[in-house]
Amino acid sequence: MENVSIATSLVIGRETALSIMKKSRKLKQSEHPSQGLHMRRNLAKGDVDLRVGNGARVDALAVGTYVLSLPSGLVLNLENCYFVPGKMTKAPFNGKGERASDLLGLIHSDVCEPMNTQARDGFHYFITFTDDFSRYGYINLMRHKSEALEKFKEFRNEVQNQHGKSIKALRSNRGGEYLSHEFDELLKECGIVSQLTPPGTPQWNGVSERRNQTLLDMVRSMMSHSGLRISFWGHALETVAFTLNRVPSKSIQKTPHEMWTGKRPSMSFMKIWGCKAYVKHQMSIKLEPKSHKYLQENAMNLRDMYFS
């Protein structure tokens, strides 16, 4: 196959050069990455300075042609490549997004990566939906990532029926579950604006990212305290989401539940997750116990009473 020469300019940092050279050929321990440039011409300090990704200006050390061999066998001659030493770090993120002014004005969503341990009923994933205005959150356990579309439909139907309002915008990362043709067509049909964050910028979807971190931190603590098997993480996750909606948040003046429903939440019925419980028999027999004592491993059979 013939070589393809691209007459353009390219900046190659040390880490990029090392990665490409190690994949294309064995790199000697003493070899400098700039030695991968053919017809290289060294530059004096101040000859060429370039603005890199974080906005800083750095001096280029050399310029030349970089030969890039692709796995397909295609060889690219990249001309006018400048070698810049050191890493190109990102600039600190100081942005602050505009908050929604009403319920369902903006929904943040994210799918958490699969868990190492399968939850009861075969769940591996969970998807979150968080209202920007109230910070009220929903979670749905999923067996496969492909279920994200159906979970969003269920969420949309419930919240729009409850509040008599329509979702205005959905913010998510560029996960494949949000980029499918079916998902895109649904958003267009419903008039929902899709806000996709740029690649490699999880901070732009910070509400969902922080929510996932908080959920998993609390689940980890609850599992450790209760001593239950790890497979109960799905039940713990539902309890955490229920609790977060009823406790104060620094992002809003009231609890998410109060802003979402207009009613102050009651916490009097809540118990320590995984505690022992006594369940009364529907039909009792004389001289036999009228209730059954559940051990911690079976305590989550009572989860419905916590969510009533």
pLDDT tens-digit map of 210-233: 999 999 999 999 988 888 889 989
pLDDT confidence band for 54 (50 / 70 / 90): low
Q: Give the bridge partners for 6, in sequence order.
A: 78
At residue 238, does pLDDT exceed 80? yes
Fold of the 107-261 domain: Nucleotidyltransferase; domain 5 (3.30.420)
Q: Summarize pLDDT for 157-204 with one digit per residue, the tens.
A: 999 999 999 999 999 998 889 999 999 999 999 999 999 988 778 888
Please state, rounded to an integer, the average pLDDT across all residues of the chain: 80
- Give the span between the Cα atoms of 95 and 246, in whole angstroms: 28
CA distance 226 to 219: 11
pLDDT digits 0-9 by tens, 80-99: 887 776 655 666 666 677 88
Instruction: State yes or no: pLDDT of 20 exceeds 80.
Output: no
Intervals of CATH 3.30.420.10 along the chain: 107-261
Q: Mean pLDDT, to the nearest integer, of 13-26?
A: 44
Q: Are 199 and 172 in contact (CB under 8 A)?
A: no
Helix 233-244 vs helix 206-226: crossing angle, to nearest 10: 120
Q: What is the pLDDT of residue 35?
A: 54
Q: What percent of the chain has pLDDT over 70?
A: 79
pLDDT band at 17 (very low <50, low <70, confident <90, very high): very low
Cα 250 → chain centroid = 21
Closest CA to 106 of 59, 146, 159, 65: 159
Nearest one of 9, 8, 11, 10 to 85, comparing CA atoms: 11
| Per-residue model confidence (pLDDT) at position 89 | 62
Q: CA-to-CA distance for 15 and 28, rounded, in angstroms?
A: 15
